[in-house]
Amino acid sequence: MSNKPVLSETVTVTVPFRIAKRGGRKDIQLPPSTNNHSPDYTLIKAVARAYRWRRIIEGGEMGTIAELAEHEKISPSYLTRVMRLTLLAPDIIEAILDGNPPSVGMSELLDPMTPIWAEQRAELGYEGR
């Protein structure tokens, strides 16, 4: 006869969370101590648009930002502000796409920012990551 312990076939896993209502839908929120970040899809979409618009301008499909803005049915100033996202350091872009967005909001990211990547990392809290 074997002296192996008998294992129960039932496994219990406990995950602390709470359910919060956001804009009429329910959202599961994990405690702050967990390092589970959900992607900021609005920011991801803005980054994708910025790179698409940059490719269109650099590829010569549209001659000017004003022409592209008219084609996209948005204001030239908004298009220019969103295109600033292409100036972010590559590791910051990667972190955004991985669901680890900066602690600042979208409007702060669209404001003029230093082109020096090390300074961007420090300003947005990515230094030492």
Domain count, the chain: 1
For residue 106, pLDDT beyond 80: yes
Question: Encoding tokens for residue 80?
Answer: 């220019």
Residue 8: the pLDDT is: 64
Please compute the mean of the pLDDT values over residues 55-69 and round it to a whole number. 94
Residue 25: the pLDDT is: 83
In a domain, 88, yes or no: yes
Domain range holding 57? Answer: 40-124
Question: Encoding tokens for residue 27?
Answer: 């959202």
In a domain, 29, yes or no: no
In a domain, 69, yes or no: yes
Please compute the mean of the pLDDT values over residues 71-79 and round it to a whole number. 96
In a domain, 22, yes or no: no
For residue 57, pLDDT beyond 60: yes
For residue 124, the tally of other CB atoms under 10 A from its CB is: 20
Please compute the mean of the pLDDT values over residues 11-40 and round it to a whole number. 72
Spacing of C-alpha 119 from chain mean position: 19
Residues 6+ apart with CB under 8 A from 84: 50, 109, 110, 112, 113
In a domain, 47, yes or no: yes
Residue 31: the pLDDT is: 67
In a domain, 86, yes or no: yes
In a domain, 27, yes or no: no
